[in-house]
Structure 1
Amino acid sequence: MSLTPMMRQYYKIKERYKDCLLFFRVGDFYELFDEDAKIASKELGIVLTSRDKKHPMAGVPYHAVIPYIRRLIEKGYKVAICEQVENPSTAKGLVKREVVRVITPGTLIEEEFLTRESNYLMSIYKDKKYGISLIDISTGEFLTTTVNTFDELVAEILKFSPVEVILPRDFDNIDEIKKLVDVVHPLVENYYNLDEAKFLIEEFINNNKELNLSKESLLSVGAALKYISESLKVKHLKLYLQTYIAKEYMLLDSTTLKNLEIFKNLVDNSKRGSLLEVLDKTKTPMGSRLLKKWLQRPLLNVEQIERRLESVEELYNKSFLRENLREILKDIYDIERIASRIEYERASPKDLVALKDSLKFIKEIKKFKFNSKMLNNIVESIESLEDVEELIEKAIVDDPPINIKDGGIIKDNFSKELDELRELKNNLEKILKDIEERERAKTGIEKLKIGYNSVIGFYIEVPKSKIKLVPKYYKRKQTLANSERYKIDELDELEEKLLANDEKIKNLEYELFIYVRDKVKEKVEDIREVAKKIAELDVLSTFAEVSVLYNYTKPKVYNGYTINIKDARHPTVELNTKFVPNDIILKKDSRIILITGPNMAGKSTYLRTSALITIMAQIGCFVPAKSAVIGVVDRIFTRIGTVDDITRGYSSFMVEISEVAQILKNATSKSLILLDEVGKSTANKDGVSLAWGIVEYLHKLGAKTLFATHYHELSELEGILEGVKNYHFGIIEKDGLIEFDRKIKRGASTESYGIKIAELVLPKEVIERAYEIYNKLEKSSGDNEIVRYLAHLDINNLTPIQALVELDKLVKKCKKLLRE
């Protein structure tokens, strides 16, 4: 097939970007061809045409391309932007074109594409363990760690919610990763070269000499750097890589993150109803992102927790100070992301003005005086960056255009050369006005005027009624309905001077803007530090604000064992319903709480409340309770709810037991474990036996445990294992109806009230038959109940009085059976 030179150029470029939709600049449009055009037409709803009846094509205007690209990125496509890199009017032959940017969800730095949240690209490499790297190129944050198991990897994915994952093409669990992340890009082998990874780290990482990375981390970091540099088309990056160890913070596994609804709810996987939504009253995008990071990694260090709590306490008590601080914070732009755009030389004039307007508030913040050591250190260590503010103030107009090549960016009196060019332009424009007035006087045509368009340049326009007065030296150029347009030699000469001068002004303004941006770039690390400090002030003041708003109290956090929470409330449930507070007490002599009672009575909410309050305390926030003493917890595990995992061929019971196995394998005596209805996915005897064995194992381990169950047989463990205590949620029966009082009480529940609760929805006939069957089953199980009772009676340690009491109980049980 014969191709035009432009199409040959297109295919040559497309060959290098096969996995992208190639936006190919042609004049005022970006065009897509062949299969790319078909995809764009379908996804964007734009017209599909053809070129020479051979090549399907679709296009969008270059000045309105952003919304189209955003829609494609959100759908998981990679977009390559191919620009004309020379002026078509001066090009000899075919205009040169190059791809200047590859846009993917994880490599966004453009403000138009980003939300307030972190925008992580995750890079994964597996050998003996999993190497994980997380980079938010829009803020410069770069983290790496290793984990040992796939479940730990999943936990990190759920914590950080990456928008894109890159991994080797032969990665074992790609399908499972795709269930967690919308955009997963398998990469070819050449992204995972150890020598190249070391080279890239040496080139792009500021602190490379301080790092001691495993092979897995090295290769995950190297792949991320290669992918980003190819996407941004930059040869120089300036990044600071931080290693982190998940075990240095409270560990929250993947199941726990989901069950506790910390970042997303279980219903529609959105932020609505999550702990994050309740707490996120931040004023700045930097603060919002930092809050999520603190929730991802609750602290274990009591001193660090206490410093945060002291700061929150001061802001909580000093409402005037808190409100003033938050009033200032609300006007600060996302300077963290502006810093990144400056570093990657993508910052616009508007970005610099936003930075200047934000830095103005630093002086106000530095006036605040605090008693809290942490707050004082933050305020005192913030750099004012007055030199950056002053430079931008002198150089950039207050309301600049977005396009840095359109002119109108630089203020007067910043550049002598620019001022002279502008004065020359003003003089030329005055000359133009003088010509117009002269020609009116000379010809007697009062309505004669001078205009300009891109087709014929400067012209003289004369009404048709006055054509007879036009001099012979006027050259007709254009005929309109009511007028004629003419040229004169003097206008052509003036036009040439004006256009040349305009071009000089635009070029000089562009050069001056680049100079200013480069000077600001020298301070980019300082700007990032300011952003971090602002974020900390934002989160701490937000904790105080939320605590006042929802009546939270300061917890006492210490290195001991006990958790003692008075009138605990669930932070999200209490906002949507009338909530009944309950005490939560876990200590050495009552470290396992067995909770019985009917469905819907509040057992699961009680379990979740204990964990959420513990997490809130360990991130340094006040908590929803009358008082709270929290012995630092190293890990929180949950086993709540039952689902199948068809992809692995796991039944609901196998899922349940697998999760319990992970808990028993990884829990320590400092862990908090929440188990809900363990064993119910199998037959009753098997379930009871497994649940019994699990409780005994946890008792030996010493972990703090809340164990909700319908197996009343487990209540016997209170008399067998020291540290196991029975509690229950009951119901109130009134006039044949039931109500939940939502209060936890000492002792075991005597029944589950399953049929009673079913009465609320099931037909009467079904309920009556259920009671008949229930009574029969009760009679047949009565003997077994007495056998179990006798089996656990320790007669050697009974006093005569205690023996009579136990005998009386036994007689009553027998009489009850006979009556039935």
Structure 2
Amino acid sequence: MSFSSEPSPRTTGTVSSYFSSSIPPDSPSLPSQRSYSQASQAYDEDEFEDHFEAPSNYSPSVSSSRPSVTLTTTSTAISRPSTPSGRRSRRGATPSILGQSESNDIICAVSESRGITPTVGIANVNLSLGEVTLSQICDNQSYVKTIHKLQLASPSRIVFMPSACAPNRPSTLFSLVEKLVPEAETACHERSAWSESAGIEYMEHLALDGDIGSLKVATQGKYYAVCCLSAAMKYIDHQFDVTFSLQSLRIGYQPSEDTMMIAIPAMQSLEVMRNLMSAKSKECLFGLLNHTLTPMGTRVLRNNMLQPSIDFNGVIRVRYDALEEMVSREEMFREIRKALKLFHDVERTLTKLITIRPATGISAAEEQITHILMIKSFLESVPEIYQALYPAECNLLVKIRNLCCPETTVPILLMIKKVIEADVTYMKSPLDLRNQRAFAVKSGISGMLDVARQTYKELTEYIGQYSTGVGEEHRVAVALKFDNRRMYWLRIPTADLDLESVSQHFINVIWKKKHIECQTLDLVKLNRRVADTSNEVMLRSDEIILKLVRDLRKEISPLFRVCESIALLDMIASFGQVTTTRDYVRPLIEETLALKSARHPILDKKMASEYVPNDYYATEQYRFHFVTGCNMSGKSTYIRSVALLQIMAQIGCFVPAEFAAFPIIHNIFARISIQDSIEANLSSFGVEMREMAFILKNVDSRSLAIIDELGRGTSNRDGMAIAMAISEALIDTGASIWFATHFIEMVRVLADRPGVLNLHLASNTSIDEGGMPQLNMLYKATAGTVDDEHHYGIVLARAMGMPSSFIEVAETVANDLRRRRESNQQNSESHKEIHRQKLMLNLYEALKQAAKSSNPEALLGYLRRLREDYLERLQEIEEM
């Protein structure tokens, strides 16, 4: 392996090799010098592959050749070589269910132990952001956690050991990755690259200064994760000829148990990252919360929403404190948002600075200078953040302020200003940026550079005078324009332009509606001379810039930490923006889920005052919620709200409610959609059963599951039987379940099971002037089951315009079925016994909760009310 703190030698050659000649003797005389103004502003493959469904737009290539893939982090495009180690090339977009993400080059190495419970090591190396994430997962034979981790990472290439991707007998994990992560290209690397000692050596040489000790402690005993780091780095060096400067990479270990797992179907059906109807729509949870002002902040928000934290004391609570202080201090909040608007995507710039590539030529020199200008602009903007955070008192904001203190940033900025002009900054306009790069290095450092810049300045001034002369000659208003492809060109209105003169004097003519874009032969010659002179300026500047880059690489650790702190601040400020505009409240983290007047976050923004809020309550005593109601009563919205609010609470955001308390949830599952899967040759019921099999295999007492209309894809009798069997299994898991259904009989049968709470979305019927019943939705959750004697479905069918003859027959059948059901009900004594047992179990659970109280006076009053309630309910049972 090789580590380097020096850049690869850049081939500059002689000046004559880049420039054809200086200004020819016969060229028009140049104007005299004047003041120059600088530029302006464990799955079984058959059982679970549908759960990790491939993107709908994925179409496997029938070609056996490997197309080239471009790494975007280089100064010039580097084509990925065709290698025999890759099994196949499959380049696609990031799965649409994860929303729009940036184009990142992520190389992932995966290795596993063999056994009943395999241990999987993962190393994700983000070449675009200079970040390495190590994980070691204790998975099962289905590789649930591993596949989920890879899907969220969206790697461009996944590297395996040769034994895992053997053509005749590939491993189960490799086969699953090929099927379920189709946007990634698979490859293998030689067995000798997977070395623990080499991985430790990479950590010692490449990790940021100050991180090495904690990183070694975190990865101690994580053999497979460390081996994957070695393989990933050697693969990158071998395939792309890319190395990194010493102590420059952000290497971190991420335990798989530290974040919530949101199942991919849940992320899709709950519209966490994107809207189901339109990928460009902002009507999703990410679109609601994304008010970030920097690309770094957007990335942090996206990563947190994909994997919310489960660490209350270390992460969630400190974010609550920071957000509360931010929204309570209006002036500080406004200044923070104002300061954040000044920042570019410096995270990518710093990564390019530490990446050592064999790039040569003018484009590499220009890009290097651009990077320095962006870092200079970034450092000049940091004091604004420091000043805005001056009044902060909470721990997180104070820590961010300390990271952005002048003692950290000013010495680095002074180092840059020793070489770069103080008033030169990064600009977005092509011409402005070109001029800024040309005059970036201070005068007096290199005599030859000063001479080349003087020539460049005189040429650009002469081009301005030349364009004025063209306008005077043709008596038209000429505007001088510039772009990187054509360089200088002329825009001339066609209103007063003689068309004959166009063909005689102008070349490269592009006709527009009201003007032409063109050049002249003299202007093309001048462009060439300007380009030659600019190239000489760039090359001579680059000799000076390279030394500055070497010095800046030694300061990369504090720069990355400042960048990360600003990204986190941007995310919290984004939460503050939505909190102040939508009237959110700070949640409590308790063992009980209790929400008062909670609102669906997306619909709350869309419907504003029209939305009807609802209450939620879930404890160990009431953890399985049956939600019934007529069609269009709001059942789906009600159950989805609780999952979305749980995600918001665990990423550190306030929630739309009058009061909110949440437990810490480790997994979120959802079974909502009723779509079939043509690719997998499955009906909607088949997809439903596979997804429920996945949930049953992975749900536990720390999970939350949303299930909507289970069993509706088959016959009514079979569907209810399956739904009842699955419900009983879910009740036994102790998970928090929100189950919307139309199977009223099932709800009544399971109502006596411990932990079950029946709710229904209220509605009422009224009689219109014609004597017909009308259905009015109240959208309010109420205890008990929906009263099916009103035949809400029939009333709704009448409201939708069904013929009265059909409605009459439907009512006759429904009434007959109801009479038969009532005649087959159990005797009243058996019903009483069941209710007595449930009442005793509820009393037992309530006493268990009361035993945890630390307030004797409140406890005494609670016990009195509990006794009165128990006697009252017992009397009601005896009178049944």
TM-score, normalising length: structure 2: 0.65
What does residue 360 of structure 2 align with? none
What does residue 415 of structure 2 align with? 391
Contact 2:90 2:184 in 1 (8 A): no
Give the letter for the 2:394 counterpart.
S
Match of 1:356 among 376, 382, 391: 376
Deviation at 1:289, TM superposition (A): 0.7
For the residues of structure 1 that align with 2:801 and 2:606, how far apart are their CA atoms? Answer: 27
Higher Cα Rg, which structure: 1
Contact 1:333 1:355 in 2 (8 A): no
Q: How many residues align?
A: 646
The answer to whether the aligner puts 1:515 opposite 2:556 as a matched pair is no
Contact 2:92 2:183 in 1 (8 A): no
The answer to whether the aligner puts 1:380 opposite 2:427 as a matched pair is no
Deviation at 1:528, TM superposition (A): 0.8
The answer to whether the aligner puts 1:123 opposite 2:134 as a matched pair is no
**What's the CA shift string for 1:640-679, capped at 9, x where partnerless?**
2334445555544343334334333433333322222233
Give the letter for the 1:778 counterpart.
R
Contact 1:100 1:233 in 2 (8 A): no
**What's the CA shift string for 1:182-228, capped at 9, x where partnerless?**
633122x4355444686476347434855347565456545543453
Q: 1:650 to 1:154 in 2, by over 3 A?
A: farther
For the residues of structure 1 that align with 2:281 and 2:200, how far apart are their CA atoms? Answer: 36
Deviation at 1:680, TM superposition (A): 3.1
What does residue 297 of structure 1 align with? 307
| Identity of matched residues, % | 25
- What does 1:181-196 align with in structure 2 at a 5 Å threshold? 183-187=183-187, 189-190=188-189, 193-195=192-194
What does residue 441 of structure 2 align with? 411
Contact 2:763 2:778 in 1 (8 A): yes
3-state SS of 1:348 partner: helix
Contact 1:102 1:230 in 2 (8 A): no
Gapped runs of 5+ residues in structure 2?
Answer: 1-17, 20-65, 82-88, 94-99, 357-363, 463-503, 506-529, 838-869
Contact 2:354 2:553 in 1 (8 A): yes
For the residues of structure 2 that align with 1:594 and 1:107, how far apart are their CA atoms? Answer: 41
- What does 1:287-686 align with in structure 2 at a 5 Å threshold? 287-304=297-314, 305-345=316-356, 347-367=367-387, 368-384=390-406, 385-396=409-420, 398=424, 408-413=438-443, 415-418=445-448, 421=451, 507-558=539-590, 561-577=591-607, 578-645=610-677, 647-648=679-680, 650-686=682-718
What does residue 134 of structure 2 align with? 144
For the residues of structure 2 that align with 1:122 and 1:671, how far apart are their CA atoms? Answer: 31
The answer to whether the aligner puts 1:133 opposite 2:111 as a matched pair is no
What does residue 153 of structure 1 align with? 146
Contact 2:134 2:229 in 1 (8 A): yes
**What's the CA shift string for 1:107-157, capped at 9, x where partnerless?**
99xxxxxx9847262525364444433332221121132442343334324
3-state SS of 1:134 partner: strand
What does residue 738 of structure 1 align with? 775
Deviation at 1:719, TM superposition (A): 5.5
Deviation at 1:356, TM superposition (A): 1.0
For the residues of structure 1 that align with 2:265 and 2:236, how far apart are their CA atoms? Answer: 31
Deviation at 1:515, TM superposition (A): 1.5
For the residues of structure 2 that align with 1:804 and 1:742, how far apart are their CA atoms? Answer: 32
Q: 1:200 to 1:414 in 2, by over 3 A?
A: farther
Match of 2:814 among 774, 780, 792: 774
3-state SS of 2:601 partner: coil
Match of 2:754 among 722, 733, 741: 722
3-state SS of 1:583 partner: strand
Deviation at 1:711, TM superposition (A): 1.4
Q: 1:191 to 1:710 in 2, by over 3 A?
A: farther
Q: 1:428 to 1:635 in 2, by over 3 A?
A: closer
Gapped runs of 5+ residues in structure 1?
Answer: 1-26, 29-75, 86-97, 109-114, 433-479, 482-497, 810-820
Contact 1:717 1:724 in 2 (8 A): no
What does residue 201 of structure 2 align with? 202
Q: 1:767 to 1:418 in 2, by over 3 A?
A: farther
Deviation at 1:306, TM superposition (A): 1.4
Give the letter for the 1:774 counterpart.
A
Contact 2:444 2:450 in 1 (8 A): no
Contact 2:629 2:786 in 1 (8 A): yes
Deviation at 1:777, TM superposition (A): 3.4
Contact 1:369 1:376 in 2 (8 A): no
Deviation at 1:174, TM superposition (A): 7.3
Q: 1:302 to 1:788 in 2, by over 3 A?
A: farther
- What does 1:9-408 align with in structure 2 at a 5 Å threshold? 78-79=68-69, 101-102=79-80, 117=102, 119=104, 121=106, 123=108, 125=110, 127=112, 128=114, 129=118, 130-147=120-137, 148=139, 149-162=142-155, 169=165, 170=170, 183-187=183-187, 189-190=188-189, 193-195=192-194, 199=198, 202-203=201-202, 205-206=206-207, 207=212, 211-212=219-220, 217=225, 220-230=228-238, 232-236=240-244, 238-269=248-279, 272-304=282-314, 305-345=316-356, 347-367=367-387, 368-384=390-406, 385-396=409-420, 398=424, 408=438
**What's the CA shift string for 1:408-456, capped at 9, x where partnerless?**
2543435154467569979999xx9xxxxxxxxxxxxxxxxxxxxxxxx
**What's the CA shift string for 1:627-647, capped at 9, x where partnerless?**
101122222222223344455
Q: 1:370 to 1:541 in 2, by over 3 A?
A: same
For the residues of structure 1 that align with 2:741 and 2:92, how far apart are their CA atoms? Answer: 47
Deviation at 1:683, TM superposition (A): 3.4
Q: In terms of mean alpha carbon deviation, does 238-247 or 414-423 score higher?
A: 414-423
For the residues of structure 1 that align with 2:534 and 2:153, how far apart are their CA atoms? Answer: 49
For the residues of structure 2 that align with 1:233 and 1:709, how far apart are their CA atoms? Answer: 58
For the residues of structure 2 that align with 1:340 and 1:804, how far apart are their CA atoms? Answer: 73
For the residues of structure 2 that align with 1:635 and 1:427, how far apart are their CA atoms? Answer: 63
Q: 1:517 to 1:697 in 2, by over 3 A?
A: same
Higher relative contact order (CA 8 A, sep 6+): 2
Give the letter for the 1:363 counterpart.
P
Q: 1:399 to 1:245 in 2, by over 3 A?
A: closer
Deviation at 1:513, TM superposition (A): 1.6
CA RMSD of aligned residues (A): 4.3
Deviation at 1:767, TM superposition (A): 4.0
For the residues of structure 1 that align with 2:405 and 2:108, how far apart are their CA atoms? Answer: 34
Contact 1:255 1:638 in 2 (8 A): yes
Q: 1:504 to 1:329 in 2, by over 3 A?
A: closer
Deviation at 1:721, TM superposition (A): 2.4
For the residues of structure 1 that align with 2:151 and 2:822, how far apart are their CA atoms? Answer: 48
Deviation at 1:295, TM superposition (A): 1.5
What does residue 755 of structure 1 align with? 794
3-state SS of 1:241 partner: strand
Deviation at 1:510, TM superposition (A): 1.9
Contact 1:122 1:135 in 2 (8 A): yes
Deviation at 1:725, TM superposition (A): 1.8
Q: 1:369 to 1:753 in 2, by over 3 A?
A: same
Contact 1:139 1:337 in 2 (8 A): yes
Which ranges of 4 or more aligned residues in structure 1 deviate by more than 6 Å? 103-108, 173-176, 400-407, 423-429, 498-504, 795-799, 801-809
Deviation at 1:772, TM superposition (A): 4.1
Give the letter for the 2:186 counterpart.
P
Deviation at 1:311, TM superposition (A): 0.6
